[in-house]
Amino acid sequence: ELRMCAITLAGLIGTYLNVLALSLLFLLFASWLAYVTFEDTPQGKTIFTSYGVTLYQMFVLFTTSNNPDVWVPAYKISRWYSLFFIVYVLLGVYFLTNLILAVIYDSFKEQFAKQLVQVDSIRKNILQKAFDLIDTNNRGYLDREQCISLLNELNKYRSLPKTSREDFELIFAELDRSGDFKVTSEEFADLCNTIAIKFQKEPPPSYLEKFPFYHSPLCGRLKSFVRSRVFEYIIVFVLLINLVAVIIETTLDIENSSSQETWQEVEFFLGK
């Protein structure tokens, strides 16, 4: 995954350069306009003393770190001068920044999709070669014994998830979508996804199921009651009473009250 991300980022170098050029062009033009506009004003004599200084100040203003200190001298002369800096900040922060983010995101998503398609194509080619190697008789399909032998071999690799013997049949059944006990090359292409499946196993039967009482109607109603919300509410109610009893018993213990023993018995009865 790290290698794929590195390749994806490398493919975005052209986009980065275009975005950087756009940002630099905007900054150069805005700095030149600010330097020319405020050249003969106190703003130009104190802040924008040269084009290089203006370029630096406008770059910092692009990050809003020196806002509004950088344009206070111009604001003191005329409030209308503040519109220049407000428009610059709005265009830079809310338009250009969002535009850069959108362009980079779309380019990254497009490049990442290309990488996924390429990886999927490589995976299918590798699986097709593996299928051809296993299909020694050129029958065009793999039978159950061949698939199980393959899974046995795959269990020897530490980098692959271990598959239990009982899951072999489930994996073969998952691959054999047609149900003809044959795995074709198209079905074999899903091998990687099928191996990654975590099959849900049924819990082993309880030892109580061996007794006839477990299957009686009375026991069935009892199990339904335990699984119901009413039973949950009863448990919560008992726990709340236990909490109240603990608080009262602790308070009486601090006060050395004789009623403490009674509440201790209540706590013991509630299961403490």
Residue 199's pLDDT band (cuts 50, 70, 90):
very low
pLDDT above 70 (res 260): no
Span 71-82, pLDDT tens digits: 677 777 777 877
Mark out the alpha helices in the chain (DSSP H runs): 2-10, 13-37, 42-46, 51-62, 72-77, 82-89, 97-134, 144-154, 165-175, 185-188, 191-195, 217-227, 229-254, 260-269
Q: Are residues 249 and 175 in the same domain?
A: no
Determine the pLDDT at residue 53.
82
C-alpha 63/C-alpha 53 separation (Å) is 16
Last residue of a domain, one of 195, 222, 244: 195
| Bridge partner residues of 141 (DSSP) | 184
Least confident of 153-157, 162-166, 232-236: 162-166
Q: Are residues 100 and 165 in the same domain?
A: no
C-alpha 30/C-alpha 85 separation (Å) is 10
C-alpha 111/C-alpha 113 separation (Å) is 5
Q: What is the model's pTM?
A: 0.47
Q: Are residues 158 and 249 in the same domain?
A: no
Task: Take residue 96 and report the two structure tokens written for it.
Answer: 């250009």
Range of the domain at 146: 135-195
Q: Are residues 183 and 219 in the same domain?
A: no
Domain contains 39? yes
Question: Tokens 């003393």 map to which residue?
Answer: 49
What's the rounded mean pLDDT across residues 90-106?
A: 83
CATH of the domain at 45: 1.10.287
